Structure 1
Amino acid sequence: MADHGSSFTTSDLSRKSGDIIAEALRHPVTITQRNKPRLVLLNIEDYERLMRQSNVRTVETIDTMSDQLFAQFEAAVDAYADSDDANR
């Protein structure tokens, strides 16, 4: 989540909570404290979507890997082996 939309300080949160909440209903809002991001306010739909995505865990073995993913894996292993041989 690189872009958190708008950014407000914790002081802004106490002074402009209504405006910040209205903005958070449209897109995620970052709350900073001492110039560091500390919180993200987001609407419930975005939160629920993130929770669903985080609960999806995929475990694959070589036997269950798609042919395309296996080819990428094999190419990465070959590239690593070639670079390792070159460094010897």
Structure 2
Amino acid sequence: MPRSGGSYTTSDLSRKSGDIIAEALRRPVTITQRNKPRLVLLNIDDYERLMRRSDARSAGTIETMPDSLFADFETAVEAYAAEDEGLKS
């Protein structure tokens, strides 16, 4: 069955696809190739849950950044620039 904690090789996938799919319906399964993780098989419910979470993320711009965060950002940039100038002198 699994090598270690739901991990199979690509060769295992060719030979034991039914068993691996059955396990992937219960929990995520890692597929390795040349001893490196390459794929994860997971059931549709887990996949949809991950996709819903990723949709909740958003990107902002400096214009939409809260003023307090922008002030912290500006202070950090000024400190970095001053430090960089000090190293050049």
What's the TM-score bracket when you normalise by the shorter of the two chains? Answer: 0.5 to 0.7
Structure 2 residue runs of 5 or longer lacking an equivalent are: none
> When the two structures are superposed, what TM-score results if normalisation uses the length of structure 2?
0.62
The structure-2 alpha-carbon separation of the partners of 1:76 and 1:42, relative to structure 1 and needing over 3 Å to count, comes to: farther
Corresponding residue of 2:66: 66
- Distance in 2, matches of 1:85 and 1:61, equals 27
Report what 1:47 is aligned to.
Answer: 47
Shift of 1:58: 2.5
1:6 maps to 6
Show structure 1 runs of 5+ residues with no match: none
Q: Look up the equivalent residue of 2:82 and give its one-letter code.
A: D
In our comparison, the structure showing a higher alpha carbon Rg is 2
The residue matched to 1:87 in structure 2 has which SS? helix
Percent same amino acid at aligned positions?
74
Match of 2:25?
25
Q: Deviations over 1:33-83 (max 9, x none)?
A: 222322210111222233334445633233321245324423431342133
Aligned residue pair count: 84
TM-score (norm 1): 0.62
Q: What RMSD in Å do the two structures reach over aligned CA positions?
A: 2.8
Counterpart amino acid of residue 29 in structure 2: V
